Amino acid sequence: MENENHEARNKQVILKNYVIKRFPKESDMEVKTNKIELKLPESCSNNDILVKNLYISCDPYIRNLINDDNNMPAAHRTLVGSPLTGYAVAKVLDSKHTNYKKGDLVWGITRWEEYSLLSSSNSLFKIHHVDVPLSYYTGILGMPGMTAYAGFYEVGSPKKGDRVFISAASGAVGQLVGQFAKLAGCYVVGTASTNQKVHLLKNELGFDQAFNYKEEKDLDLALKRYFPEGIDIYFENVGGKLLDVVLLNMRLHGRIIACGMISQYNLEQSDGVHNLSVIVSKRIRMQGFVVSDFYHLYPKYLEMILPFIKAGKISYVEDIAQGLEAAPGALIGLFTGRNVGKQVIAVARE
- Residues in contact with a second copy by CB under 8 A are 64, 71-72, 239, 243, 258-261, 264-265, 269-290, 293
Nearest to 125 by CA among 114, 109, 140: 109
Q: At its nearest, how many Å lie between a second copy and the CB of residue 266?
A: 12
How far out from the chain centre does Cα 205 lie?
A: 18
For a second copy, the closer of residues 190 and 239 by Cβ is 239
For a second copy, the closer of residues 102 and 285 by Cβ is 285
Q: Which amino acid is at 286?
A: M
Q: How many CB atoms lie within 10 A of CB 102?
A: 11
Residues in the chain: 350
Q: How many CB atoms lie within 10 A of CB 301?
A: 19
Q: At its nearest, how many Å lie between a second copy and the CB of residue 277?
A: 4
CB 307 within 8 A of CB 280: no
Annotate 306-317 with DSSP letters as a single string: HHHHHTTSS---
For a second copy, the closer of residues 198 and 245 by Cβ is 245
For a second copy, the closer of residues 264 and 315 by Cβ is 264
267 to 17, 35, 94, 288: CA distances (angstroms): 17, 37, 42, 20
Nearest to 166 by CA among 158, 178, 149, 156: 178
Q: Tell me whether residue 64 is exposed, middle or buried, using C-beta atoms within 10 angstroms of its C-beta: 0 to 12, 13 to 18, 19 or more.
A: middle
Q: At its nearest, how many Å lie between a second copy and the CB of residue 274?
A: 5
**Nearest-angstrom CA–CA distance, 31 and 40:** 24
Q: At its nearest, how many Å lie between a second copy and the CB of residue 350?
A: 34
CB 126 within 8 A of CB 145: no
Q: At its nearest, how many Å lie between a second copy and the CB of residue 38?
A: 36
For a second copy, the closer of residues 286 and 304 by Cβ is 286
For a second copy, the closer of residues 82 and 275 by Cβ is 275
73 to 18, 65, 76, 124: CA distances (angstroms): 16, 10, 6, 18
**Nearest-angstrom CA–CA distance, 204 and 181:** 15
For a second copy, the closer of residues 132 and 273 by Cβ is 273
Q: At its nearest, how many Å lie between a second copy and the CB of residue 12?
A: 27
For a second copy, the closer of residues 58 and 258 by Cβ is 258
Nearest to 258 by CA among 278, 281, 287, 229: 287
Q: At its nearest, how many Å lie between a second copy and the CB of residue 105?
A: 30
Q: At its nearest, how many Å lie between a second copy and the CB of residue 134?
A: 29
For a second copy, the closer of residues 158 and 328 by Cβ is 158
Q: At its nearest, how many Å lie between a second copy and the CB of residue 114?
A: 30
CA dihedral 305, 292, 334, 338 (to 10 degrees): 0
